[in-house]
Structures are given as structure tokens and as C-alpha cells.
Chains A and B, each alone.
Chain A
Amino acid sequence: DVKVTQSSRYLVKRTGEKVFLECVQDMDHENMFWYRQDPGLGLRLIYFSYDVKMKEKGDIPEGYSVSREKKERFSLILESASTNQTSMYLCASSPDFYYGYTFGSGTRLTVV
């Protein structure tokens, strides 16, 4: 089975800190995605990548950046964390545009 592993399940950071959320997949998938999930708003796409060093903005990229230096790893970066970035962050991967996504278990980030 494909595994998508997110480095932390729970994270607490201070306002203004630089935050790195790491995601690793073990099945050589081309595409990787970062979503955030908030009550009443559902899942919203932040950024995605369809190849190493390639990235595209999703629906809510403001305040975030991403890095994909290796195929298996996709990092989400909060340059200066703010309280409105408190959320559940979900990483996903897929082999190509036809297949479904495999999601990680999520990282619940709290910014205080």
C-alpha cells in the first residue's frame, strides 16, 4: 500500500515563527498536494506539484510556499506563522491525473 507520511501529528508554534510541514510518499508518485481543512470550509488546496522542482498555486496559496527537491518529499512552509493558519494540514499524492489521491493522516497545527 502507498504510504503518505506527515512528520508531525500535532504541532504548536508561535506567531511569526517559520514553520516547515514535511510530507513523504514511498511509491514514486509524480503528483503531490497540500490541503488545509477547517470546520465549515472543507478541504482547500494550497499548493501542488506535478514533478520535482515544479509547483503550482492552488486556491489559497497566500502566506505559504512549498519545496520539492526530491520526488518523494513535498514540504509546506509558513514563512511567518499567523493565528489564522491554525488548521489541519493534509498532504496527498497520486501517480498521475487519472488515479485517486492517497492522503496522509494530517498535521494539526496550532499557532499561538
Chain B
Amino acid sequence: DAKTTQPPSMDCAEGRAANLPCNHSTISGNEYVYWYRQIHSQGPQYIIHGLKNNETNEMASLIITEDRKSSTLILPHATLRDTAVYYCIVRVFTTGTASKLTFGTGTRLQVTL
């Protein structure tokens, strides 16, 4: 699986958009980009994933550059409850067996008043 690079920490004011970058310059054509977050003392929570098109759901938007070497997770109106560690993961699909997720150390997002 391709390696990802994320900043170790970021701050965001409540109500503003939080833009979390991820670099995955060695990504290959059959690898998807996944985002998870982990709030303190809980298991990680799935947020969103995509291949090459931008994706949006009720939690966030995912913007993937045209060359797919980087992506940005956008939380449009961050709240204090969005304070968490955010993980960007690239994942290759293999048929016949589970495709495992490999977590890095993520970005610690602190949302402040």
C-alpha cells in the first residue's frame, strides 16, 4: 500500500472549515483514499473514501487532485466534537481476501472556540 504523509497537528476555529491535507505521491491506479477519525478513547470512525472523483457525504468532502498524489478532507463547519485524530489511508483492493487498512499516525485536529 502507498504511504501517506500528514501534518502531525492542526488547529481550527469552531464554525470555520477544517481542511486536512494528505500527500500520497506513490499512489497507484487501483488504490483508493480513505479517511477515518478517532475521538479520544473511542475506536476509529469511517468518514469517507474515493478513487479519483471528489466525494461528499453528510460528514465531509474529499477532494483528490487530478494526478491523485494528494487529497484534502474538508469539514465544512467544524465543531468542538470534531476534535480528533484524522487518518488518511490508501488501500489497494485485492479479490478473494480482505483488503487490510494500514493506519499511520494521522493529524491531530484541535477545534477551538
User: Do A and B come together as binding partners?
Assistant: yes
- Chain A residues in the interface with B (C-beta under 8 A): 4, 30-31, 33, 35, 40, 42-45, 48-50, 56, 58-59, 90, 92, 94, 97-98, 100-106
Among B80-113, those with CB < 8 Å from A are 93-95, 97-106
Residues of B within 8 A of A40 (CB): 105
**Looking at the complex, which one of A42, A44, A103 makes contact with B43 (CB distance below 8 Å)?**
A103
- Given that A45-B102, A56-B98 are contacting pairs, would A97 and B43 also be in contact in the complex, using a CB cutoff of 8 Å? no
Question: Contacts A42-B104, A43-B103; is A103 near B98 (CB within 8 Å)?
Answer: no
5 contacts between A and B (CB under 8 A): A45-B101, A56-B97, A97-B95, A100-B36, A106-B42
B88 to chain A, nearest CB (A): 12
User: Is B98 in contact with A48, judged by CB distance below 8 angstroms?
Assistant: yes
Are B49 and A100 touching (Cβ within 8 A)? yes
With a CB–CB cut-off of 8 A, which chain A residues contact B98? Answer: 30-31, 33, 48-50, 56, 94, 97
Closest to B91 in A: A97
A101 CA to B103 CA, complexed, in Å: 12
CA distance in complex: A63, B22 (Å): 34
Query: Measuring CB to CB, which residues of chain B are less than 8 angstroms from any residue of chain A?
Result: 34, 36, 41-46, 49, 93-95, 97-106
Give CA–CA (A42, B106) in the complex, Å.
8
Contact status of A97 and B93, CB under 8 A, knowing A33-B100, A42-B103, A42-B106: yes
Tell me which residues across on chain A come within 8 A of B106, comparing CB atoms. Answer: 42
Partner of B46 from the list A43, A44, A45, A102 (CB cut-off 8 Å) is A102
A106 and B102 CA atoms in complex are apart in Å by: 17
Measured CA separation A105–B95 after assembly (Å): 29
Q: How far is the CA of A48 from the CA of B99 in the complex (A)?
A: 10
CA–CA, A97 and B44, complex, Å: 17
